[in-house]
Amino acid sequence: MSAISELSSFTRRKGKVTAEEKKANKRDNKAAYISLLPWLVGLVAITIGPMLMSLYLSFTDYNLLQPPEWTGLDNFTRMLSDARLHNSLRVTFTYVFIGVPLQLAVALLIALVLDKGLRGLPFYRSVFYLPSLLGGSVAVAILWKQIFGTTGLVNQVLAMFGIQGPGWISDPSTALGSIILLHVWTFGAPMIIFLAGLRQIPAMYYEAAKVDGASTLQQFWRITMPMLSPIIFFNLVLQIIGSFQSFTQAFIVSGGNGGPSDSTMFFTLYLYQKGFGQFDMGYASAMAWVLLLIIGVFTAINFIASKYWVFYDD
Amino acid sequence: MPLFPRAASAAKHIAEAPTSGASRPGSKVLSPRIRTRKAGAVAAAVAAVMALSACGGGAAPQNADGTVELRFSWWGGDKRAQLTQEAIKQFEAENPKIKIKPEFGDWSGYWDKLATQVAANDAPDIIQMDEKYITEYSSRGALLDLSKYDVDTSKLDEAALNAGKGEKGLTGIAAGINAATILANPAVFQAAGVPLPDDTKWTWEDFGRIAAEITAKSPKGTYGAAAYGTDEASLGVWLRQNGKSLYTSDGKLGFEPGDIAEWWAFLKKLSKDKAVPSASEVVEAEAAPLDQSGLATGKNGMAFWWSNQAPALEKASGGDLKILRFPTKTGSAADTELWYKASQFWSASSRTKHPQETAKFINFLTNNVKAGEALLADRGVYPNSEVRAAIQPKLTPADVKVVNFIDQIKDELGEAPAPPPKGAGAIQEIIKRYTSEVLFERLSPEDAGKKATDEMKSAISN
């Protein structure tokens, strides 16, 4: 939003630029480019360079120890018959399509509660935001592993009620669920954004609705949701992109092997195993580009679909 | 920039939120001149950082005073790190012009790191290498042929020496000799009131029966034995006892789907009888480091380990451990079909800038008594017979136990197994995965056998 205000001030100034201002602008631009330099160097050396390299490698057979050999589309055709890759796609899609909506729903719910003008709001906001800072970390993933182990905290509590819980993260039928739960738990970041969005809905709409006798639920569906839709859309896009790439939690919780029985074998984890464990970096690079493509497609779908449900108030 | 501030307080909250659109305070007050100066400082800092990182790359440089720095990487725990650093100290005292820089870590991260380093042309000079990966690295030209350098191999046991030979010459010198064993915790046996087995006569049925008995007579959570099926050692023994092998000498699989299915079927039976932990517990145990393993924490009566790991496990468990032979089909120790394995190898990077010095260090580790006195039996029994004899008095009781065991089985050994082919590094992961498929009853042993052998075949055919 600050970008918008700066842009508007920029357009306002147009037309009455003196020579001195021009000079100053030029100097400013130079300064800006110099300031940008660290980022620019980083972008070229750390992002674009390796990306192009990996694009090249995706068409080669590269075992890390010997120079890559051009094999054309071989890596991509091999993917068609790789059952473990298909499984990893299934796992990743399950994670994204269950984890993201759940997380956003929880985030919105908590944001709505906090928006009701709680005393000590900054404190609660921080408390709820904390998991977002920690959730992606190695330490929390290890903690998760302890809590959901066969003799972990969850099962100890269940045992008090006479229930013998499974090994949540070591049983193939519940392992992915535990990781999705870890993802949902990190609802803080979207929650903060929702909260900011809720605060921007003008109170007069609610007042008018109340006068007309609308119930709380009606107010939510008719006012809050449409007014908040750009924010929901923003969160959705961001979370979907992030979740497709999620790696750390599955890596730590499964001990790096996507187990048990590949039930937590995320696409990124399989990519890592292929590249670094099985000396198949060409294939891993090809997988990375497929992931980019998948994320691109889903983001595009998101944007197209947004035309039908996102309401911009201008 | 709140479009419709609901109330003054609301606007304040938004301003506090990290995502608020408040523009950076003060940025507009700075004069262009100061901004340029600031930018200059940033640019200088960037240049400095880049210069730093440029120094970081490249292999061991030779310093002006003629000292050479070599990098030496290994996997292993704290105990190994202490012993190895002591050996390095001894070497540096004898060779003041050579500095050895240690790099060590866990097994799990070691191979990812090594592969990346080799790919980046930044491999350590001296590499602790494993049987599973040596063919991969040597056949692809990443390891130095040590026979061309001054490394004395005349005192090495022949089997140990041959294990390091391949199509690209002598690319690894065995660091120690190992055997697959079952380690028993007598305290667990005693608490359950079950006598320790006679390992010269026991069969797999005995193993299952004893383990199940311990579980039944122990407190909840304690099991007679750890499950096998998490690595290829126990599978190798099983196959050899059935007249098969993991690999053939021409680099193919040495068994049929049915053979591995039988192995899993027996494991499934052990699991049904509660001789081994539940499927979930088996998966959890896989990830545990040595000192938190079921054997070390007194949760397992018996477990499958390499002989050189016994002292470290004994230290972790805080009690006495007994080294047992594997059970057999026939009940005769002569049919155990164990073998001497090179526990690990000393290898050198083919791209080392200082092959002479690297070879000198490997020669020191292999043949110098001082190295032996530092390393003792942590990497297995010393393959150099002279060093082995010289360090005998220095060994701890736990080490002596290992040396004695290796000695005892000498006449019962089977034929030396064929070396693992290229791609063998992936086999363990395949075994583990299908073991849990079987234990969780998601696949029958037969189906798991078929699928696993298919996957293994394609892993080693690349």
How far, in Å, CA of B160 to CA of B163, rounded? 5
- Find chain A residues with C-beta within 8 A of B42's C-beta: 34-35, 37-38
Tell whether A278 lies on the interface with B, counting CB pairs under 8 A. Answer: yes
Same domain, B260 and B376: no
Question: Which of B13, B440, B459 shows the shortest C-beta gap to A172?
Answer: B440
A122·B2 Cβ contact <8 A: no
Q: What is the pLDDT of residue A63?
A: 85
- What is the model's pTM? 0.79
In a domain? residue B367: yes
> Is A63 in the B-facing interface, judged by CB distances under 8 Å?
yes
Q: Are B70 and B157 in a shared domain?
A: yes
pLDDT for res B63: 62
In a domain, residue B128? The reply is yes
Residues B262 and B186 grouped into a single domain: yes
**Would you call B19 and A34 a contact, using CB atoms and an 8 Å cutoff?**
no
Put simply, the chain B residues between 315 and 374 with a CB less than 8 A from any chain A CB are: none
Q: Are A170 and B283 in contact (CB under 8 A)?
A: yes
Asked if B46 has any chain A CB less than 8 Å from its own CB, the reply is yes
Q: In 3D, which of B188, B210, B214 has the Cα closest to residue B199?
A: B210
Distance from CA of B408 to the nearest CA of A (A): 37
Instruction: Give the nearest chain A residue to B113 (CA atoms).
Output: A276
DSSP letters along A255-303, please? TTTT-STTTT--HHHHHHIIIIISS-HHHHHHHHHHHHHHHHHHHHHHH
Same domain, B296 and B382: no
Q: Rounded distance, CA B155 to CA B101, Å?
A: 28
Closest residue, chain A, to B137 (C-alpha): A65
CATH number at residue B441: 3.40.190.10
Does any CB of chain A come closer than 8 Å to the CB of residue B44?
no
- A290 to chain B, closest Cα gap in Å: 22
Overall number of domains in chain B? 2
pLDDT at B55: 38
Q: Same structural domain for residues B50 and B146?
A: yes
Domain limits of chain A?
A: 2-57, 75-309
Local structure of residue A223 (DSSP, 8 states) = I
Interface contact A66, partner B, CB < 8 A: yes
Which among B6, B36, B116 has CB closest to A276?
B116
Query: Quick one: closest CA in A to B433, which residue?
Result: A261
Q: Which two structure tokens, joined as six digits, stand for B165?
A: 């030979």
- Cβ density class A94-131: b for 16+ within 10 Å, e for less: ebbebbbeebbebbbebbbebbeeeeebeeebeebbeb
> What is the reported pLDDT for B71?
93
The highest-level CATH class for domain A75-309 is: mainly alpha
Kindly list the strands in the beta sheet with B322-324, ordered across the sheet, starting from the edge strand earlier in the chain. Answer: B223-225, B300-306, B180-184, B322-324
Q: Do B284 and A64 touch (CB under 8 A)?
A: no
Are B47 and B99 members of one domain?
yes
Question: Which residues in A lie closer than 8 A to residue B2 (C-beta atoms)?
Answer: 199-200
Closest residue of chain B to A264, computed from CA coordinates: B433
Residue B69 region by backbone torsions, left for phi larger than 0, else alpha for psi between -120 and 50, else beta = beta
Do residues B304 and B393 share a domain? no
Asked if the C-beta of A230 comes within 8 angstroms of chain B's C-beta atoms, the answer is no
pLDDT value of residue B77: 81
- B166 in the same domain as B195: no
Q: Which residues of A touch B4 (CB under 8 A)?
A: 200-202
Q: Which residues of chain A have pLDDT under 70?
A: 1-17, 135-136, 313-314
- Residues of chain B where predicted confidence (pLDDT) is lower than 70: 1-64, 462
CB contact under 8 A, A193 and B19: yes
Q: Are residues B16 and B87 in the same domain?
A: yes
**B108 contacts on A by Cβ (under 8 Å):** 255-256
Contacts B140 to A, Cβ<8 Å: 63, 65-66
Report the side by side order of strands in the sheet with B126-129. Answer: B98-105, B68-75, B126-129, B345-348, B173-174
3-state secondary structure chain B: CCCCCCCHHHHHHHHHCCCCCCCCCCCCCCCHHHHHHHHHHHHHHHHHHHHHHHHHCCCCCECCCCCEEEEEEEECCHHHHHHHHHHHHHHHHHCCCEEEEEEEECHHHHHHHHHHHHHCCCCCCEEEECHHHHHHHHHCCCECCHHHCCCCCCCECHHHHHHCEECCEECCEECCEECEEEEECHHHHHHHCCCCCCCCCCEHHHHHHHHHHHHHHCCCCCEEECCCCCCHHHHHHHHHHCCCCCECCCCCECCCHHHHHHHHHHHHHHHHCCCCCCHHHHHHHHHCCHHHCCCCCCCEEEEEEEHHHHHHHHHHHCCCCEEECCCECCCCHHHCCCCCEECCEEEEECCCCCHHHHHHHHHHHHHCHHHHHHHCCCCCECCEHHHHHHHHHHCCHHHHHHHHHHHHHHHHCCCCCCCCCCCHHHHHHHHHHHHHHHHCCCCCHHHHHHHHHHHHHHHHHC
The residue of A82, A200, A231, A274 whose CB has the most chain B CBs within 10 angstroms, and thus the best one to mutate to test that interface, is: A200
Q: Which of B13, B23, B141 is facing A199, going by the closest CB pair?
A: B13
Chain B environment of A203 (Cβ under 8 Å) = 6-7
The verdict on residue B414 lying in a domain is no
Inter-residue long-range contacts of B360-363, CB under 8 Å, 24+ positions, other chains counted: B360/B95, B360/B98, B360/B150, B361/B70, B361/B72, B361/B91, B361/B98, B361/B100, B361/B126, B362/B126, B362/B146, B362/B151, B362/B173, B363/B150, B363/B151, B363/B152
Tell me whether residues A65 and B437 touch, CB distance under 8 A. no
pLDDT in tens, B33-55: 444 444 444 444 444 444 343 33
pLDDT at A290: 95
- What pLDDT does residue B37 have? 46
Task: Say yes or no: B188 and B201 in one domain.
Answer: yes
User: Could you give the C-alpha distances from B416 to B143, B182, B229, B327, B457, in angstroms and in order?
Assistant: 23, 20, 22, 19, 22
Q: How many CB pairs under 8 A join A and B?
A: 155
Give me the domain span that covers residue B288: 180-339+420-461
From chain A, the residues in CB contact with B111 under 8 A are 276-277
What is the distance of C-alpha B411 from the center of its chain?
Answer: 28
In a mutational test of the A interface, the residue from B280, B451, B455 whose CB has the highest number of chain A CBs within 10 Å is B280
Domain stop point among B375, B403, B431: B403
Indicate if B379 and B430 belong to the same structural domain. Answer: no
**Which amino acid is it at A20?**
E
Domain-embedded: residue B286: yes
At B120, list the tokens. 């980046």
Within a domain: B415: no
| pLDDT (0 to 100) of residue B273 | 93
Residues of B in contact with A170 (CB under 8 A): 279-281, 283-284
Residue B91 lies in a domain: yes
Query: Do B74 and B192 have their domain in common?
Result: no
Report yes or no: B137 at the A interface, CB cutoff 8 Å: yes
With beta carbons less than 8 A apart as the criterion, state whether B224 and B210 touch: yes
Size (chain B), residues: 462
The reported pLDDT for the residue numbered A15 is 57
